[in-house]
Amino acid sequence: MATQALRVGAVNYLNTKPLIERLTDFAPNIELSLDLPSRLADQLATGALDVGLIPVVEFFRGDNYSFVPNVAIGSRGPVLSVTLFSKVPWEQIRTVALDEGSRTSAALTQILLRKRYGVKPLVQSLPIDAPADDLSTDAVLLIGDRAMRACLPGYRFAYDLGEEWTAWTGLPMVFAVWAVRGGVELGEAEAAFHKAKEYGLANAGLIAQREAAALGLDPGFCRRYLSNILRYDLGAVELAGMRKFRELADEMMSEKSEDRGQKSEDGKTGISAFTVL
């Protein structure tokens, strides 16, 4: 009898490559698709996916989600692929455009602005294909591969949000996890996620060399990014970082609701009510 297919979604960014390298070889019943982090979260929520490499803020919002243990995308210090470009220092930011690709990075930006620097800017969404060079906002958040390629000479400051988070909290920042929809049993396929991670990290140099040209990046830079900048573990200290992020995100959403003088449509004011804006 054929093994039931496991529908798995991941992001087509450089930082995900070590986690999906040969994944379908290690578990042939896995059907792998690639999309934006925010779209993957929506697909997981509607049941179109069984497992998704989704923004951690979407994991918090999920209905009875679990996660594949000890696998994540995170940083402990600079992350390079989540950057807030700004024309002014943090304290002077009054308007900001947020890359629609990842809701975790959008939440992190607003947490830092509100909770660390005490400012409450107007925010707008930046479509994934929209140029960021000619925006009128004080700051713009870029994520993923385009954040690493971007120069944006019109913006004086380039703040690495992984570095900002760890300098503030002393904790790692977890950006994404393999979330498993409630009721889905991974069975033997769970081992494939660990095997893919182990294989991908062992072959980071080959992945970097293969992917660099299409991204317009230097292979050596890509190698250091995968091997020395990103963290792919999800141990005790990373889980502590996740808990801190959730705590601050809940506080922020409650404060934003109080600012508006109303709750969200579902009556919730915490992370479960979070949207990009």
Strand partners, 180: 51, 66
What pLDDT score was predicted for residue 36?
83
Q: Which CATH number fits domain 6-74+174-235: 3.40.1080.10, 3.90.550.10, 3.40.190.10, 3.40.50.300?
A: 3.40.190.10
12: three-class secondary structure by DSSP: coil
Interatomic CA distance for residues 45 and 61, integer angstroms: 9
**What are the distances in angstroms from CA 209 to CA 121, 172, 215, 226?**
40, 27, 11, 11
| CATH homologous superfamily of 82-172+238-273 | Periplasmic binding protein-like II (3.40.190.10)
Going across the sheet that includes 66-75, the strands are 30-34, 6-10, 51-55, 173-180, 66-75, 230-231
Domain extents in the chain: 6-74+174-235, 82-172+238-273
What pLDDT score was predicted for residue 3?
66
Per-residue pLDDT tens listing for the chain (277 residues): 346 899 999 999 999 999 999 999 999 999 999 998 778 989 999 999 999 999 999 999 998 999 999 999 999 999 999 999 999 999 999 999 998 877 899 999 999 999 999 999 999 988 877 888 878 999 999 998 989 999 999 999 999 999 999 999 999 999 999 999 999 999 999 999 999 999 999 999 999 999 999 999 999 999 999 999 999 999 999 999 999 999 999 998 888 777 776 444 444 444 443 333 2
pTM: 0.89
Q: Where are the alpha helices (DSSP H) in 216-235?
A: 219-224
181 Cα distance to chain centroid: 18
CA within 13 Å, CB half, 87: 13
What pLDDT score was predicted for residue 272?
42
**What are the distances in angstroms from CA 21 to CA 14, 24, 170?**
11, 8, 31
Tokens in use for 140? 């713009």
Is the separation of the CB atoms in 147 and 82 below 8 Å?
yes
Please identify which residue in the block is written with the tokens 């690639």: 34
Asked, colleague to colleague, whether 6-74+174-235 and 82-172+238-273 share their fold, the answer is yes
What pLDDT score was predicted for residue 261?
67
Strand partners, 103: none
The residue among 83, 78, 120, 74 whose CA lies nearest residue 101 is 83
β 82-86/157-160 pair status? antiparallel
What pLDDT score was predicted for residue 132?
83
Interatomic CA distance for residues 248 and 135, integer angstroms: 29
Interatomic CA distance for residues 164 and 90, integer angstroms: 11
Is the separation of the CB atoms in 64 and 126 below 8 Å?
no
